[in-house]
Amino acid sequence: MSTKPILEKLAVLADAAKYDASCASSGTVTRDSTGTKGIGSTEGMGICHSYAPDGRCISLLKILLTNFCIYDCRFCINRASSNVERARFNPQEVVRLTLDFYKRNYIEGLFLSSGIIRSEDYTMEQLVEVARILREEHRFQGYIHLKTIAGADPGLIALAGLYADRLSTNVELPTEAGLQSFAPEKKSATIRKTMASVRVSESDAIDAAKSRLIGKAKPPRFAPAGQSTQMIVGADAARDDDILQTATNLYSGYQLRRVYYSAYSPIPDASSDLPPVRPPLMREHRLYQADWLLRFYGFERAEIMEGASGGMLDLAIDPKLAWALQRREAFPVDINRAPREMLLRVPGLGTKAVDRIVAARRLGKLRLGDLAKLTASVKKLLPFIITPDWRPGKLTDSADLRARFAPPAEQLALAL
Amino acid sequence: MREVVLTEPGDFAEWRRAARGLLAGGVAPDEVSWRGSAEGASLFGDAVAAAPAGRLSLPRALVEIAERVICYRDPEVPARLYRLVWRALHDRQLLARTTDAEVAWLRGADKAIRRDVHKMHAFVRFRRLGEEAGRESFAAWFEPSHRILRLTAPFFQRRFYGMDWAILTPDARAIWHGEKLSYGPGGTRDEVPDSDVVEDQWRTYYGAIFNPARVKIDAMRAEMPKKYWKNLPEAQDIAPLLAGAEARVERMREAAVSLANPLTDKWRTRVPEELLLDDDVKTLDDVARAVDRCTRCPLYCNATQGVAGEGPQTARIMLVGEQPGDQEDLQGRPFVGPAGLVLNEALEEAGIDRTRLFLTNAVKHFKFEPRGKRRLHQNPTTGEIDICRWWLDKERALVQPDLIVTLGASALRGVTGKSASIKAMRGAVHELAGGTKLIATIHPSFLLRLPDRARAAEEREMFVADLALARKLAA
């Protein structure tokens, strides 16, 4: 066991956790400390308490219990063969840090992950123990996200879900082949089985809640913020199409709340077969946009890929615009008459703007000037919409339409 | 001209009292002048008499928004809000008129308030004062853009019930002692300690969680505007972190790949599982393990797990279905989904004990098409069925049933190797090579898909009859 001072351990084990993309603290049940007289609350909506200079929000204390690991995944800084500095917290230290930070309003809660030590079950037990101490001994009501260890016993997963708001199992690489060559100890089947056991526990808990007798206490909710996963983008040869295919499979199979896409970031002491490049942040961004189209805009993966080429999304323009440019026959859309589903397909209209338009047009016809009050940028919409005072005419079919939206080449180089 | 003097800017109750009086008196917005007490006493105009409120009904949503927007730091707010409630008396749809300039202003102001509230929830930083009788106390200094302390204090009460705290702002302070939230006058920054014992830890965390390879300063500034930085202990580290980022990435890139950590072999205690050769499969447990690792066809890529058959090796009847469905795939057991329930009921009606059957499928992995939050079952191809027959044959060889009941066309193909018509084969008992008897019937999921109730009942009866025949034959 390492005997480093807490400050050094924190530096090592937070540094080791910085490659995990997810930090959300939203989507869970509402609870607070009034009844328990303890500390902590969640109000459904997450709060970002700070932002790192990399633009990412800091909502949770995101650390590893330990960065010792018996696995040797090549994309991972903590792989067994890496010479990275190692440290290990004991559960009490993590509890102390979480509570100290929480009481000062630095964080919404804890996101705890770990390198795998001894065995999957042993590691999972340690993670669960931290959550148990927080909840049972300190009546902590804040948010807890536990990383499940793929291959851990389903009984431990079921226990973890009683304490945690969210569970996640990272798939890391989107294809079987990628995992085989970069993470020899990880099997996508094991990962999927762990996700399945989270989903089964979830639906068991829902069934139990439904079938309880009137007057009986509500059984505890299982991971109310659901489960999520992360995929690394750009470390292996997987195309965007493969990534979205995996994402749609995961969303449909395990009812994931979120799939996070994490641009492969060069790690110190990297394995020599990994790209030593800047992380493909724009690609990551486009994947998030495509993911949004899947979940909130009624797009199918195949439709999104119509705007792509060679299985890769267009980096210069967003995927909805890319799709619309391929499907110009569907445009222009009459803002005052089109069904909601079609408005959602207009490039430049988000779900909120569409809701506002649908509400506002009940009270009278919308003109361009009205739209300006309902959406961020009318200019972007012009080629795709009709209002009583606007018709795009030949604009919709003009050959240089893409060029109007695509940024000039030199700007692309500054994608960072 | 009426004149209203508000003594507490941002106090909704005071504004509401005045506004109710004016509305009850039918005073139009342009006949009122709203003043803050700081702007001097009222010199002209009639002070508003506290007219009886009468029955005023305003849209609830408008009152809720007004309660927030009164905190907006702009002397015009009381007058603007009065104009809006005045109009709302005659126009119940007012708030829906999002294209109206005044409504748009209201929405904009509300959005600014809500953002300010959200940022205050996020960026208040408590500093520890001490501990008494096991109860810790904390204080924070915060400068919100608007007068939102009363909107935010209840949040901190809910969150930090178990400790004492005070939040000081230039306009007012909120204090919590574990029983009642109280408010007091504004404060100054020097009333709050200028450091905290865990601030070093927090700043260490902040520095360590930052990834120097993905600097995005604008994204950070958009969400954490500079005006808040002076009260965030971690903000003093932003400049040095950014200054060192490029060099850190450069060092990473230049660092030669070092030799593998010699401890690797010590940690890596486990060798990858020995793959079971297909011919080593000697028991039903072996089959289950091997099926789960099967890669004979690509279906394994997306399914959760291979689902082998289930039941006693001594079973006299073997039931063969098509393939695992959504639930079977998740739980790793055959016939546990909706079709399994139909089957259970039919078995019971036919007088068959499920635990004495061997239940399996022609194809061992779930084949599906993702559609939103569901997986739509897809029929296996004959190729997939034929490849998977390897496993079905193993199970048949180990169980050696007297009778096989095939449920559906895929199962029939899996058992016989030929595509035959269920319709033609149904109702009769066939004999397979080796003497095993065969009954062909429909798959229970077929019953779930029939929209016509009468037809479904009829089909179900036939299905139960097929099962009853099986029971008789195996007896």
Same domain, B320 and B455: yes
Longest pairwise C-alpha distance within chain A: 73
Q: Is A83 helix (H, G, I), strand (E, B) or coil?
A: coil
Is the pLDDT assigned to residue A416 strictly greater than 60? no
Query: What is the domain extent for residue A335?
Result: 331-404
Looking at B119, B140, B163, which one is the last position of a domain? B119
Report the C-alpha gap between A351 and A180 in whole angstroms.
39
Q: Are A231 and A171 in contact (CB under 8 A)?
A: yes
**What is the number of domains present in chain B?**
4
In a domain, A361, yes or no: yes
In a domain? residue B269: no
- Measured between CA atoms, how close is A399 to chain B, in angstroms? 33
Is the pLDDT confidence value at B267 over 70?
no
The domain spanning residue B398 has which CATH number?
A: 3.40.470.10
Q: B338 with B451, same domain?
A: yes
Minimum mean pLDDT among A279-283, A354-358, B386-390: which range?
A: A279-283
Q: Cβ(A82)–Cβ(A130) under 8 Å?
A: no
- My answer on whether B217 and B289 are in the same domain is no
- Is the same domain home to B237 and B179? no
Q: Within 13 Å and on the Cβ side, how many CA atoms surround B206?
A: 26
| Residue among A53, A184, A199 whose CB faces B210 most closely | A53
Distance between CA A267 and CA A265 in Å, rounded? Answer: 6
Q: Do B205 and A70 touch (CB under 8 A)?
A: no
| Chain B residues close to A105, C-beta within 8 Å | 124-126, 140, 156, 159-160
Percent of all residues in chain B with a pLDDT value above 90, rounded to a whole number: 72
CB atoms under 10 Å from CB of B118, counted, come to: 14
- Supply the angle between the helices B284-292 and B382-399 in degrees, to the nearest 10: 160
B395 alpha-carbon distance from chain centroid: 41
B264 domain residue, yes or no: no
Please check whether residue B121 touches A, CB under 8 A.
yes
Q: Is the domain of B61 the same as that of B165?
A: no
Average pLDDT, whole number, for chain B? 90
pTM of the model: 0.91
Both B115 and B129 in one domain: the answer is no
Q: Do A360 and B301 touch (CB under 8 A)?
A: no
In a domain, A307, yes or no: no
Burial class (CB in 10 A: 0-12, 13-18, 19+), A341: exposed
What is residue B262's predicted lDDT score, i.e. its pLDDT? 66
pLDDT confidence of residue B39: 57
Task: For residues B401 and B447, state if they share a domain.
Answer: yes
Q: Where are the alpha helices (DSSP H) in B165-263?
A: 199-209, 217-223, 238-254
ipTM confidence: 0.91
Question: How far are the Cα atoms of B43, B304, B305, B333 from residue B299, in angstroms, in the given order?
Answer: 85, 10, 10, 17
Residue A136 has pLDDT above 80, yes or no: yes
B45 falls within a domain: yes
Q: Give the Cα separation of A157 and A357 in Å (integer).
A: 44
Contact B216 A101 (CB under 8 A): no
Domain holding B186, by residue range, is: 124-191
Q: Is the pLDDT of residue B256 over 60?
A: no
- Number of Cβ within 10 Å of residue B352's Cβ equals 22
pLDDT score for A8: 94
Q: Which of B6, B107, B119 is nearest to B66 (CA)?
A: B107
Please indicate, yes or no, if residue B64 is contained in any of the structural domains: yes
Give the model confidence (pLDDT) of A57-93 as tens digits. Answer: 999 999 999 999 998 888 888 888 888 899 999 999 9
* Banded pLDDT at A19 (limits 50, 70, 90): confident
CATH number, residue A131: 3.20.20.70
Tokens 């993911």 locate to A291
β-pair partners for A258:
A228
Mutate to test the interface with B, among A88, A104, A294, A361 (most CBs of B within 10 A): A104
Establish if A165 belongs to a structural domain. Answer: yes
* Chain B residues near residue A281 by CB distance under 8 angstroms: 214, 216
CA distance A397 to chain B (A): 30
Last residue of one domain, picked from the residues B99, B119, B139: B119
Q: Which of A107-111, A196-200, A398-402, B227-231 has the lowest mean pLDDT?
A: A398-402
Q: In whole angstroms, what is the distance from residue A292 CA to residue A349 CA?
A: 13
- Helix (H) / strand (E) containing B129: strand B127-132
Number of compact structural domains in chain A: 2
CA A256/CA A248 separation, integer angstroms:
10
Q: A53 vs B140: CB contact, 8 Å cut-off?
A: no
Alpha helices in B91-175 (DSSP H): 101-123, 149-159
Angle at B194 between CA B189 and CA B199, to 5 degrees: 135
Same domain, B179 and B217: no
Q: Are B2 and B48 in contact (CB under 8 A)?
A: yes
Range A34-61 average pLDDT: 92
Does the residue B262 lie in any domain? no
Looking at the predicted structure, is the pLDDT value of residue A197 above 90? yes
B179 close contact with A: CB closer than 8 A: no
Please compute the mean of the pLDDT values over residues A222-244 and round it to a whole number: 93
Inside any domain, residue B270: no
Q: Contact at 8 Å (CB) between A39 and A138?
A: yes
Lowest-confidence region among A344-353, B94-103, B454-463: B94-103
Q: Nearest to residue A381, comparing CAs of A354, A408, A362?
A: A354
The rounded distance, in Å, linking the Cα atoms of B65 and B112 is 12
Same domain, B84 and B145: no
Instruction: Say whether pLDDT at A411 is over 50.
Output: no
Peptide bond into A332 cis (omega under 30): yes
Q: Is residue A259 part of a domain?
A: no
Q: Note whether A56 and A194 are same-domain residues.
A: yes
Of residues B64 and A181, the one with the higher pLDDT is B64
Residue B267 maps to a domain: no
The answer on pLDDT for B389 being more than 50 is yes
- Domain end marker among B101, B119, B137: B119
pLDDT at B37: 67
Q: Are residues B94 and B145 in the same domain?
A: no
Under 8 Å between Cβ of B320 and B308? no
- The Cα B285–Cα B278 span in angstroms is 13
Average pLDDT over residues A226-232: 94
- Taking the CA of residue B217 and the nearest CA in chain A, the distance in Å comes to 6
Res. A413 pLDDT band, cuts 50 70 90: very low
Closest A-chain CA to B366: A253
CB contact B341 to A (< 8 Å) = no
Residues B113, B130, single domain; the answer is no
Pick from B122, B212, B267: which is nearest to A47 by CB?
A: B122
Give domain status of residue A65, yes or no. yes
Distance from CA of A345 to the nearest CA of B (A): 17
pLDDT value at A2 more than 70 = no
A158 shares a domain with A17: yes
Of A402 and A129, which is predicted with more confidence?
A129
Which two three-digit tokens encode residue B463? Answer: 């299905």
- Chain B CB contacts of A100 under 8 Å are 198, 201
Tokens of A50: 């700070």
Nearest CA in chain A to B222: A55
In the three-class reduction of DSSP (H, G, I as helix; E, B as strand; rest coil), residue A107 is classed as: coil
The answer as to whether B292 is a domain residue is: yes
Tokens matching residue A191: 């990962």
- The reported pLDDT for the residue numbered A414 is 43
Q: Determine the residue type at A52.
A: A
Lowest mean pLDDT among B20-34, B245-259, B444-458: B245-259
**pLDDT class for B368, splitting at 50, 70, 90?**
very high
Q: How far is CA A258 from CA A6, A52, A222, A304, B286, in A?
A: 33, 22, 17, 18, 36
Tell me which residue has tokens 């039931």.
Answer: B319
Rounded Cα distance between A79 and A186, Å, is: 12
**Same domain flag for B109 and B134:** no
Cβ atoms of residues A303 and A256 within 8 Å: no
pLDDT tens track for A294-351: 999 999 999 999 999 999 999 999 999 999 999 999 999 999 999 999 999 999 999 9
For residue A315, tell me if it sits in a domain.
Answer: no
Tokens of B404: 């096989």
What confidence score (pLDDT) does residue A211 get? 79
The answer to whether the Cβ–Cβ distance between B201 and A6 falls below 8 Å is yes
Q: Is residue A409's pLDDT more than 60?
A: no
Determine how many CB atoms are found less than 10 A away from the CB of residue A73.
22
Nearest chain A residue to B118, by CA: A47
Helix (H) or strand (E) holding A91: helix A91-103
Q: How far apart are CA A238 and CA A241, in angstroms?
A: 8
Residue pair A19/A64 in contact (Cβ under 8 Å)? The answer is no
**Higher per-residue confidence, B87 vs A410:** B87
B402 to chain A, closest Cα gap in Å: 35
Looking at the predicted structure, is the pLDDT value of residue A412 above 60? no
Minimal CA separation from B72 to chain A, in Å: 21
